[in-house]
Structure 1
Amino acid sequence: MSEAVGTNKGGLLLGLVIGGAVGAVASLLFAPKAGSELREDLSNTYRTLNDKTSKLASTVGQKTQEIVSSVCETTQDIAATASEKAKDIVSTVSEKSQEIGSKASDVIDKAKESKQLVAESLQAATSNSSHGSNNNQH
């Protein structure tokens, strides 16, 4: 909102300067004066306008530099924050990946152990049933 107010003030100031210049030139041209007086008044008005325009241009240049500096600083701050957040995310993802890998490895080891236990149980059951059927036949 302050940028809009600043822009409106600059436009108003420029309008006042141009309006003043047009009014001054018109009053000089329509005033009953001798040619040399008219030329001197026009010359003075031109110098005044030139000075005001130079000051206005200088002010606009300074404000522009301030805005550019502010935007640059803000952009650098945003970039630094984004970089830090990205590093945090990468670190978190890496930690979670390691945790998941470790848990997956544990699950795989337990599955292998369970498979081994089931195989041993089946083998024992098969052995027992074949021994039991042999005992029934004798």
Structure 2
Amino acid sequence: MDDNKMAKGMMIGFITGGIVGSIIALLYAPKSGRELRADIKVKKDEYLEDASEYLNTAKEKASTIISESKKKSEQLIKDAKEKASHLLSDANKILTEAKAKAGETYEKSKQIISNESDRVKDAFNAGLEAYNQEKKKID
């Protein structure tokens, strides 16, 4: 972008310098007023044409830069959407796996607790029965 600004500045400087130099040359040239006015008109037309060409070139370059920037921004948006989609997909996969593992762990824990609870109940009942039998022996 700095090169474009520098080139633009140089082009404006050349055009301005050319106009000023031409006007000075025409004013100091030994010609009649009619010839001088005709020369000024010709030079004015030449410089207007040059300025118009420069403006058209600048418009084309700006259009190209805008078009390229638009394409790049569209590609960046597309890439960002794809990456976000992949991240979301991965996150959903991890969440699903975590839920499945948590469910498995819950079921295993539930089964272990149930088994241990039954074992403790059986042991308690056996202890209670043994106590009652010993109590009957003593009575």
Which bracket does the TM-score occupy, shorter chain normalised? over 0.9
Partner of 1:76: 74
Listed as ranges, the matches of 1:29-68 within 5 Å are 29-68=27-66
Give the Å deviation of 1:86: 1.0
Q: 14, 17, 20: which is aligned to 1:16? A: 14
Counterpart of 2:117 in structure 1 is 119
Offset at residue 127 of structure 1 (A): 0.5
Shift of residue 136 of structure 1? 1.8
Equivalent residue, structure 1, for 2:131: 133
Which structure 2 segments of 5+ residues have no match? none
1:5 aligns with 2:32: no
Determine helix, strand or coil for the equivalent of 1:88: helix
Instruction: Give unmatched runs, 5+ long, in structure 1.
Output: none
Residues paired across the two proteins, number: 136
Q: Give, in angstroms, the shift of residue 38 of structure 1.
A: 0.8
Q: Write the distance in 1 (CA, Å) between the matches of 2:42 and 2:133.
A: 134
Q: Which structure exhibits the higher relative contact order, with contacts defined as CA atoms closer than 8 Å and separated by 6 or more residues? A: 1
1:32 partner letter: P
Give the TM-score, by structure 1 length.
0.93
The 4+ residue runs of structure 1 with deviation greater than 6 A are none
CA RMSD of aligned residues (A): 1.1
- Deviation sequence 1:17-40 (CA, Å, 0-9, x none): 111111111221233321001101
2 CA distance for matches of 1:88 and 1:47? 61
Superposition deviation, residue 113 in structure 1: 0.8
Identity %: 24
TM-score (norm: length of structure 2): 0.92
